[in-house]
A and B are shown apart, each in its own frame.
Chain A
Amino acid sequence: MNTRGQILIEHALVLLFLILPLMAGVIRWGTLEYHRTRCAYAGFLEARSRLIRENQAVTLNLNCGFGVSESITLVPLHEIESPDPLPSLSGWVSKASSLWEELSHFSSSSSEQDSG
């Protein structure tokens, strides 16, 4: 066997035992991830539609096949804690509210005095 033949055999062996399994693994992983992405996206769209239709929390446990499973949970708006939109305002709104409580207290005590 000459050097060229030896190189060809080595190349074929590397291809057979290293490159091909590696590629098969990469292809399998890529296909599964692609499948998972598509399945999750379809599940997300379905969960979103149900959330809009039913207005209650939706949890979808997807069994996408090939051992792939995903879980999607969407929460309705009324279950989300409302952020305070008026951070700078809330301080003195509460001050004004407490002022009003004092005023109403004064009002009620004056009415009690009147009735008394």
Chain B
Amino acid sequence: MGGALTLLVVLVGAGFGLSMIHIRAIAQRQINLDRCAGAAILDLREFLSKLKASNQRIEVARLATLPLLPTPSGPAALELFKQLLRVESWIQQSIRLVWIKHQVQWDTLPGLGCKLHDRPLRSLYPEFKFEVVEPEASVFETQSSRFLAALPREIRLRISVAKLKTEALLRLEQNHEWSVQWSE
């Protein structure tokens, strides 16, 4: 009788234990998934912030250069503007290269180091039309977007693993700042 009772308790306990381990594993995986998407979208925001700062520097330089053009220091100012464009183009190209590196890493090392290697990660690193500044663009361009890097208004990053999924959203707000949040 004692043996049967012990066996029953052990079996029931094992059932409870396995169930608890399962629930905790699901919760942990969901948290990791959320963290993974969150970290990636924060990375993307950093990329875009750097691009935006670069665009702003170009725009400020353009506005500062335009009134100088008719003056005797016009050619020097124009040359300075061209040099700035070359520097900013170099910066933006480099940011683009790092973006591409992250895309490749995302595909080869799922989740940029997220602790999800035990299950295949179904996700694509976000892509957007990435136009960097033209180093030879003219300060006279009426449409300033000609020499500014094109930036997206919204980026969604979806990740799913088995039956779990998460989504993070990066959006350009009215105040021209990017907001980040988890979404569904």
Residues of A in contact with B (beta carbons under 8 Å apart) = 11, 15, 19, 23, 26-27, 30-31, 33-34, 37-38, 40-41, 44, 48, 51-52, 55, 76-78, 80, 82-86, 89, 92-93, 96-97, 99-100, 103-104, 106-108, 110-111, 113-114
A-B contact pairs, 11 of them (CB 8 A): A23-B6, A30-B16, A44-B30, A52-B183, A52-B184, A77-B41, A82-B43, A83-B46, A107-B64, A107-B80, A111-B67
Q: Does B109 make an interface contact (CB < 8 A)?
A: no
Q: Are B2 and A19 touching (Cβ within 8 A)?
A: yes
Q: Which residue of B lies closest to A33 (CB)?
A: B20
- Chain A at the B interface: SS class: helix
Residues of B in contact with A (beta carbons under 8 Å apart) = 2, 5-6, 9, 12-13, 16-17, 19-20, 23-24, 26-27, 30, 34, 38-39, 41-43, 45-47, 50, 53, 57, 60-61, 64-65, 67-68, 71-73, 76-77, 80, 83-84, 87-88, 90-91, 94-95, 98, 102, 168, 179-184
